[in-house]
Every structure is written in C-alpha cells, then in structure tokens.
Amino acid sequence: MKQAAVDAVMEGLKTAGVDFISLLPDSDFSQLQRVASEDDALEYVPVSTESIGVGVCTGAWLAGKRPALLIPTSGLLVASWPLTSINMAWGVPLLLLIPYRGDIGDAFWMRGPYKDTTEPLLDVLRIPHTVVSKIEDLSGAIVDAFGSTISWQRPVAVLLTGETIK
C-alpha cells in the first residue's frame, strides 16, 4: 500500500471510532500493520489465522471495544465459518477490511480465482460490502461501513482495490 492509502485507512478507522484492530500479517497490509502496531490509540492484536481474528474481534466487541479485522482476500474463505456461527448468528458487528485481489487491473494470474469467490462469498454470507478503488474515497467508505456494522449489528466489508492497494 502507498503511504497515502495507509494514512486514509488510519484516518477512516480513527474517525469511525475503531479502537481495536486484529489482522493476519499479510504483504498487502505490511505498511498498515506497522503503522497500526505503533499507534497508541489502537489496541493491535496480530493473529495466526483469520478465524482466530474473528474470535478475537468478537471478544473485543463484547468487552466494549470497537473492532476491525484486516484480512487477506483468501482469508475470507477461512473466516467464513466463524463469521457465520458467531457474528451472523449472534448479531455481532465487525468491520472487515479486505484487499480485493484478482479484481480488474490486478493482473497476477494466481489471484484470478479471488475475483470469482470474494463478492459471491460475501453475498452468500449476506455481508454487505463496498468496493473502493480510489484513495480519496477510502476514509469515508470505512467510516460509512463501520457505522453500518454498528447500526445493523452484523459484519460489513470494505474491499480495497485499484490504487488503494498498489
């Protein structure tokens, strides 16, 4: 991620009132991970799998925190069971930030299947989502998505593509 995208994500998270971030270390988020881990306003918990991240964020919510989970595109598949059995079943809000790999313009052949599975899986899980391709739209999209996850008491995803992850 470019520094401008990292700054926009952090601005959006702080404006939304997010005070807890969990993530699986990932090359798409390496710069953001560093910045988040050094920010005293955020409690930062790295995890070994995305499913654990869902559980950690659920615990944070139940303890009064306002969590966000940052996961790789492929991690949505791993997180689908706990998102269904915990967040969807019990109405636990959770902001998901996911690099949208395989989208148009992301030409690495290996990422193509992510385009075929990411949005359809979110639709099957009935997780509302927005796709953000411009850095200037990133902060506002995060604020809107976090407000929706709180209002709707369910997960909401922001998919990062285009210049937001390059």
Confidence of residue 35 (pLDDT cuts 50, 70, 90): very high
Instruction: Please give the pLDDT value at position 90.
Output: 94
Q: Which residue has the higher pLDDT, 25 or 63?
A: 63
Mean pLDDT, the chain, as a whole number? 93
Can you state the percent helix, strand and coil of the chain, rounding each to 5? 55, 15, 30
- DSSP line for 39-104: -TTSEEEE-SSHHHHHHHHHHHHHTT--EEEE--TTHHHHHHHHIIIIIIHHT--EEEEEE-TTST
What one-letter code names the amino acid at 17? G
Residue entry with tokens 């988020």: 29
Q: What is the pTM of this model?
A: 0.95
Residue 52 CB burial class (10 angstroms; 0-12, 13-18, ≥19): middle
User: Which residues share a beta bridge with 69?
Assistant: 22, 96
Indicate whether 111 pLDDT > 80.
no
Q: Are 133 and 161 in contact (CB under 8 A)?
A: yes
Give the domain ranges of the chain. 3-164
Query: What are the strands of the beta sheet with 20-23, ordered from one edge?
Result: 43-46, 20-23, 67-70, 94-99, 155-160, 129-132
Indicate whether 112 pLDDT > 80.
no
Indicate whether 18 pLDDT > 80.
yes
Q: Are 80 and 123 in contact (CB under 8 A)?
A: no
Instruction: Please give the pLDDT value at position 137.
Output: 98
Instruction: Please give the pLDDT value at position 29.
Output: 85
CATH of domain 3-164: 3.40.50.970
Distance, in Å, from the CA atom of 110 to the CA atom of 59, rounded to the nearest integer, reads 34
Instruction: Please give the pLDDT value at position 73.
Output: 87
Instruction: Provide mean pLDDT across the span 134-140.
Output: 98
